[in-house]
Structure 1
Amino acid sequence: MFSTVLVANRGEIAYRVITTLKRLGITAVAIYSAADAAAKHVRAADRAVCVGPAAAAESYLNIDAVIAAAQQSGAEAIHPGYGFLSENVRFARACAEAGLVFVGPGEHALEVMGDKIRSKDHVAQAGVPLVEGIGEPGFTDEQLIAAAKTLTYPLLIKPSAGGGGKGMQVVEQAADLPESLAAARRVAAASFGDDTLFIEQLIRSPRHIEVQILADNHGNVVHLGERECSLQRRHQKIIEEAPSALLDEATRDRIGQAAVDTARSVNYRGAGTVEFLVSDEEPEKFHFMEMNTRLQVEHPVTEQVTGVDLVEQQLRIAAGEPLELRQQDIALTGHAVEARIYAEDPEAGFMPSTGEIIGLAEPRGAGVRVDSALVHGLQVGTEYDPMLAKVITTGADRAQALSRLQHALADTVVHGVTTNTQYLLQLTADPDVRAGRLDTTMIERKLPDLQSPGPQQHHAAAAAIFASHLGPAEVPPAERTGPRGWQRDGWRLTAPHARTVEVLWQRPGAAEELFDVVVGGDIQLHRGEHPGSYLLRTAETTARVHLSAGPRTREGAQVWITADGFTGMVTVLDQEAQTHRQLRLIEAESVDAVPEVTSPMPGTVVSLAVSSGDQVPAGARLVTVEAMKMEHPLTAPLPGTVRLHVRAGETVRLGQVLATVEADPSSQEQGLET
């Protein structure tokens, strides 16, 4: 076994690999970019080496820098995690040339299975059924468009070198194909360093089933059962489970054997996953999609039901040890479910969310596992994938595992950035999900009816009391004014006096909601057992709440709150803040506004669809902003003349005005007549 291993990744997967390394007594070396100097995986490692600036292309994707870090630290092997360089054959080759062991498959398997076009051709020769599609290495957009004339729409564009749903585009009609291909190539190049694409016919209601395999250098290959990954949004998995509720034992054996045969066909070594599309109506039929030649994000659910540490097996295989596992010894016990927590705002169209983690509580208890990159003070930016953590629960059966997941998600508190946690809670309670009626398009159909609850009166009360009792040390230095015994909100050292304050909350795209709260009355807030936890008592209710203090500015005191299924940031307005707000509203009413198109998150302008002075209809694409390896097109709010305020390649901040649209006089007159 190795004595020192470098982990060429970041976030929760780097921390998870380091956990196994330390359990095995192996020295763990972390790498990090300038943006990750204080990250959780860096703190956990025995050593850490900076490999470059924040941009992934200059750090985590910089092969020379990663190899140099391994040599500098005395590592004998490199574990690539998933994403970044995990399926990069040039990286595997560079490891071999440097005398380092790549913890992954050999170059042949990477070349065949790492390229989705080549892998489909390979398994087709073995008689594995495939979905209809087209794709040749080096095909241009024009060649793909011409070849697509033989296919039936809708189509699905996929990056050949990619995974995780990045760059995938659904195309409903031929007219949309050129623009979708361009967008897919940009994301593929940014995420994987390879913009090769292929196209296949989109199957409307499939089940996504994948099989975990392990293979050593001595000819032994086993599978560890299947995972159900059908709960997806925009082709990105959200909730996964093992085993699948769809398959019977006979089909489980057949699909498992197909995965083993696929691995044997390329002399596979290490841990890998063979992915299939399975018909919901005919579950005995399955179609090969791809083979992921790495660890998967959802690998914990397999570990939970088999008791096998997949990272340990990867390390032992890479060190040349034969598998001790035999197929007849592998049994699936119980059921496991995983939910991915992302820094994104479901209420704002799942736009990425950025900020500093100022409050954190992760769930614990029987059958609960959390793989997380979260720590207090973590700065969540736009440079990397928005996944922050995974909550995994295990039960004797599927119902218990899902119930435990609901409780665990309810106990998950992340303050400072908006996450999809409440959205996950709604999904796990959905009757179709509970009954196992799943397919890869189900979430898209349910999205219009999913909406997180807003705050209630007692939430506003808790925030108001919490804000009024923040001590001087908790208020930013720039906001400390006057004697230390007084605060601007009226709280005094002697005793608080009853007063009314306003608490402001706004759902993205909706009107502001104001709550009037009497502080100093019958409402009580008691500190709980853990930092940030409180017990709120009013005449009507008693509730457990989590509270975190954001900055106190002239706009008011920002307070993050989690309680009763609600998580969000509210603003507590003292008298001065209320005055400023009223003045802003009066000023806004007196100004003729020109419709502005603003950036919904920090990011980079990757394309401009129009030029200043162009006449555009309502809904026309104007600017595309990329953040966290996802593209977000922004459109015209009304017909008129567009004025651009940014250039392609420019970095923009949240709320920055990217374009304005001046309404055409004719459309204004028509609107008045109507």
Structure 2
Amino acid sequence: MFSTVLVANRGEIAVRVIRTLRELGVRSVAVFSDADADARHVREADTAVRIGPAAAAESYLSVERLLDAARRTGAEAVHPGYGFLAENAAFAQACADAGLTFIGPPAAAINLMGDKIRAKETVKAAGVPVVPGSSGSGLTDAELVSASLEIGMPVLLKPSAGGGGKGMRLVRDEAVLGEEIAAARREARSSFGDDTLLVERWVDRPRHIEIQVLADAHGNVVHLGERECSLQRRHQKVIEEAPSVLLTPQLRASMGAAAVEAARSCGYVGAGTVEFIVPGGDPSSYYFMEMNTRLQVEHPVTELVTGLDLVEQQLRVASGAELGFSQSDVTLTGHAIEARVCAEDPARGFLPSGGTVLALSEPSGGSVRTDSGLVAGVDTGSTYDPMLSKVIAYGPDRATALRVLRGALADTVILGVQTNAGFLRRLLAHPDVVSGNLDTGLVERDLAGMLPDGVPPQVYAAAALLAGAPRPRAGADGWVDPFGAADGWRLGGTPAWTVHHFRLPGQEPALVRTRPQGADTELLLSDAGRDPAPARGRIVSRTPDHLTVELDGITHRFSYAASPEGVWLGRDGDSWHVQDHDPVVAALTGAGHAGADTLAAPMPGTVTVVKVAVGDKVAAGQSLLVVEAMKMEHVISAPHSGTVTELDVSPGTTVAMDQVLAVVTPDEDEKEETS
């Protein structure tokens, strides 16, 4: 076993690898960019090395800086985690050339399986069925269009060099093929440094089943059963489980054997995953999609049902040891389900979010495991992948694991950053998810029913009760200022109404009036044009991080944290950033801009593409700009036809949420039509 291992990654996977290194008595070395100087993986490692500025290309993707960090700290091996350089053959070879053990497969295997086009040809020759699609690498845009039309719509565009759903585009209309190819190339280039694409036939209502394999350098290859990864959004997994309810023991053995052959066909060593697309109506007709030559995000569910630590197995294999067990020794016990908690806002179309973690409470212990890279006080930023943590539940059966995971997500508190935890909890309660009737289109198809229906009125009421809570009014000299608290006090009369203006990102401003009524507070709440709703409430209890309020005889408990703009309130995995909103100030400063002509940044990020200039005539729906955050592109389109009269950004500009990007002034005839 190694004595020192450098972890060439960040976030929750770096923390998770460090945990196993500690258990094995191996010294861990973390690396960090300027954006991660105070990150959890840096705090938990035995030593840490700064490798550059926030930009990944100058830090986590810099082979030279990573190798220098390994040399300076005496590391003998490098664990790449997943993402960044985990599937980069040049990095694996550079490690070998520097005398370091790369904890992963040989560079030749990464190179072969990392090229999805060659990978399909290789496993097909080994007898593994593959998805029909384009052949040959380095296809031009025109050749991709031609191949798509030959295969028949709909088709799936995929980066040849990467995975994780990044850059993948489902195209149903041939009229937009050119635009989708260009967008897929940009995302592929940004995520993997390679914009080579392939195209495959789209299988309607497919299931995504993957097989975990382990191989040593002595010729032993086994599979550890399957993971069901069919619950996806935008081709990215959100829920994974093991085992799959779809597979019979016979089908599991058949797919497992195919995965083993795929691994053997490329001379694989280490932990890897062979991914299959499975028609829901005919599970026996499965097709090889790709092989991920690294540890998977969802590896914890396999660990829980097999009892194996996959990082430990990686380390042992990389150090030259044999697996120590055969296929007949592998058994699957119980059921495990994982949910990916990401920095994204479900109420705003899952746009990436960011911010400082103001309050944090993550479930763990018993039948719940949380793999996380979070600590309170850290800024999550918008530079890297949006995944913050993974919550995993185990049970003797699937129904138990589902119930435990829903409860664990309800107990997950991350305030200061919008997350999808509440959405995941609702998804796990979907009837088709509960019954196991899954496919990769389920989430997109039934998305509306899993999103919050506006802001619960008790959220605004709780914010108003907090804002009007009594505060000490005595000065240093003991003088009491009667106007020092928003409690409605006035000279010689009944308490007056105090008006609170609140706003949540992406929501219409809400107005709450409050006034004391004995020990209680009378509230009038109106938002989104609704008539004021009367209520009577009070704060029952308040600690530094929890608030319980009573409204019309019903208590509501929140976690909460103050922010410079207002207050964060959270419960059952959902959270709301209730901001103080002064409509007069907003009008004067432009902070309340939501005019039909103004295009604002929907998320914090970086402008990557600008397609217009001031003075250009544009059509309604025309793509004008592209903003990228957390490896996700968002296209900004013209709200109507007109002229670009203002353009405040250029490629490379970093923008904040709601920052003005451009103004499109409608043509006179457009104004007349809408008036």
* TM-score for the superposition, normalised by structure 1: 0.91
- Check conservation: 2:30, 2:41, Cα contact below 8 A: yes
What RMSD, in angstroms, separates the aligned Cα atoms of the two structures? Answer: 2.7
Instruction: Compare 229-238 and 417-426 and name the one that shifted more.
Output: 417-426
Identify the residue that residue 533 of structure 2 maps to in structure 1: none
Identify the residue that residue 510 of structure 2 maps to in structure 1: 513
- Check conservation: 1:498, 1:521, Cα contact below 8 A: no
- Check conservation: 1:464, 1:501, Cα contact below 8 A: no
Structure 2 unmatched ranges of 5 or more: 488-493, 521-537
CA distance in 2, matches of 1:241, 1:590: 44
CA distance in 2, matches of 1:239, 1:192: 24
The one of 616, 619, 624 aligned to 1:617: 619
Cα distance change, pair 147–585 in 1 and its aligned pair in 2 (3 A): closer
Q: Secondary structure at the match of 2:282?
A: coil
Identify the residue that residue 284 of structure 2 maps to in structure 1: 284
**Which amino acid is 1:649 matched to?**
G
1:469-489: CA deviation from partner (whole Å, max 9, x where unpaired) = 6989xxxxxxx9999987986
The one of 558, 583, 603 aligned to 1:601: 603
CA distance in 2, matches of 1:483, 1:120: 80
The one of 649, 657, 661 aligned to 1:658: 661
Identify the residue that residue 405 of structure 2 maps to in structure 1: 405
Cα distance change, pair 389–620 in 1 and its aligned pair in 2 (3 A): same
Identify the residue that residue 52 of structure 1 maps to in structure 2: 52
Aligned 1:131-142 pairs, distance under 5 A = 131-142=131-142
1:137-165: CA deviation from partner (whole Å, max 9, x where unpaired) = 22222332233331201111111111111
- Check conservation: 1:344, 1:352, Cα contact below 8 A: yes
Structure 1 unmatched ranges of 5 or more: 473-479, 553-557
Aligned 1:130-529 pairs, distance under 5 A = 130-467=130-467, 490=485, 500-506=497-503, 509-518=506-515, 521-522=519-520, 523-527=538-542
1:571 matched to 2:586? The reply is no
CA distance in 2, matches of 1:11, 1:488: 48
1:22-65: CA deviation from partner (whole Å, max 9, x where unpaired) = 01000000000010000000000000001110000000000000
TM-superposed deviation, 1:521: 3.2
- Check conservation: 1:213, 1:224, Cα contact below 8 A: yes
- Check conservation: 1:605, 1:650, Cα contact below 8 A: yes
**Which amino acid is 2:609 matched to?**
S
Cα distance change, pair 456–540 in 1 and its aligned pair in 2 (3 A): farther
Instruction: Compare 172-181 and 283-292 and name the one that shifted more.
Output: 172-181
TM-superposed deviation, 1:308: 0.4
- Check conservation: 1:347, 1:507, Cα contact below 8 A: no
1:464-508: CA deviation from partner (whole Å, max 9, x where unpaired) = 344456989xxxxxxx9999987986179xxxx977544555465
CA distance in 1, matches of 2:482, 2:58: 47
Cα distance change, pair 482–209 in 1 and its aligned pair in 2 (3 A): farther
**Which amino acid is 2:392 matched to?**
I
CA distance in 2, matches of 1:163, 1:120: 14
CA distance in 2, matches of 1:266, 1:139: 24
Identify the residue that residue 525 of structure 2 maps to in structure 1: none
Cα distance change, pair 87–646 in 1 and its aligned pair in 2 (3 A): same
* TM-score for the superposition, normalised by structure 2: 0.91
CA distance in 2, matches of 1:394, 1:338: 9
Identify the residue that residue 637 of structure 1 maps to in structure 2: 639
Q: Secondary structure at the match of 2:563?
A: strand
Identify the residue that residue 652 of structure 2 maps to in structure 1: 649
CA distance in 1, matches of 2:130, 2:14: 34
CA distance in 2, matches of 1:43, 1:308: 26
Cα distance change, pair 175–251 in 1 and its aligned pair in 2 (3 A): same
Instruction: Compare 100-109 and 540-549 and name the one that shifted more.
Output: 540-549
TM-superposed deviation, 1:608: 2.5
**Which amino acid is 2:649 matched to?**
V
How many pairs align?
649
1:497-528: CA deviation from partner (whole Å, max 9, x where unpaired) = 97754455546544222233446733133245
1:102-134: CA deviation from partner (whole Å, max 9, x where unpaired) = 000012211111111110111111222111111
Cα distance change, pair 498–268 in 1 and its aligned pair in 2 (3 A): farther
**Which amino acid is 1:599 matched to?**
A
**Which amino acid is 1:646 matched to?**
V
Q: Secondary structure at the match of 1:228?
A: strand
1:551 matched to 2:564? The reply is yes
Cα distance change, pair 199–590 in 1 and its aligned pair in 2 (3 A): closer
- Check conservation: 1:547, 1:559, Cα contact below 8 A: yes
1:118 matched to 2:118? The reply is yes
Cα distance change, pair 389–589 in 1 and its aligned pair in 2 (3 A): closer
Identify the residue that residue 477 of structure 1 maps to in structure 2: none
1:354-376: CA deviation from partner (whole Å, max 9, x where unpaired) = 11000111123531000011111
**Which amino acid is 2:215 matched to?**
A
Q: Secondary structure at the match of 1:332?
A: coil
1:102 matched to 2:99? The reply is no
TM-superposed deviation, 1:178: 1.5
Q: Secondary structure at the match of 2:657?
A: coil
1:73-94: CA deviation from partner (whole Å, max 9, x where unpaired) = 0000000000001110100110
CA distance in 1, matches of 2:388, 2:589: 40
Q: Percent identity?
A: 52
TM-superposed deviation, 1:188: 1.0
**Which amino acid is 2:81 matched to?**
G
1:431-485: CA deviation from partner (whole Å, max 9, x where unpaired) = 111111110011111123332144444433433344456989xxxxxxx999998
TM-superposed deviation, 1:621: 1.1
- Check conservation: 1:462, 1:525, Cα contact below 8 A: no
CA distance in 1, matches of 2:479, 2:7: 49
TM-superposed deviation, 1:179: 1.4
CA distance in 2, matches of 1:482, 1:265: 83
Q: Secondary structure at the match of 1:275?
A: strand
Cα distance change, pair 161–382 in 1 and its aligned pair in 2 (3 A): same
- Check conservation: 2:214, 2:272, Cα contact below 8 A: yes
Q: Secondary structure at the match of 2:376?
A: coil
Instruction: Compare 376-385 and 597-606 and name the one that shifted more.
Output: 597-606
Q: Secondary structure at the match of 2:446?
A: helix
Cα distance change, pair 335–560 in 1 and its aligned pair in 2 (3 A): same
Q: Secondary structure at the match of 2:81?
A: coil
- Check conservation: 2:606, 2:654, Cα contact below 8 A: yes
TM-superposed deviation, 1:584: 4.6
Q: Secondary structure at the match of 2:38?
A: coil
1:129 matched to 2:125? The reply is no
CA distance in 1, matches of 2:401, 2:412: 16
- Check conservation: 1:466, 1:547, Cα contact below 8 A: no
1:63 matched to 2:63? The reply is yes
CA distance in 1, matches of 2:209, 2:52: 38
**Which amino acid is 2:630 matched to?**
M
- Check conservation: 1:455, 1:566, Cα contact below 8 A: no
TM-superposed deviation, 1:659: 1.5
**Which amino acid is 1:521 matched to?**
A
The one of 570, 584, 587 aligned to 1:562: 570
CA distance in 2, matches of 1:234, 1:214: 29
Q: Secondary structure at the match of 1:400?
A: helix
Cα distance change, pair 182–468 in 1 and its aligned pair in 2 (3 A): same
CA distance in 2, matches of 1:484, 1:409: 48
Cα distance change, pair 260–29 in 1 and its aligned pair in 2 (3 A): same
CA distance in 2, matches of 1:341, 1:591: 31
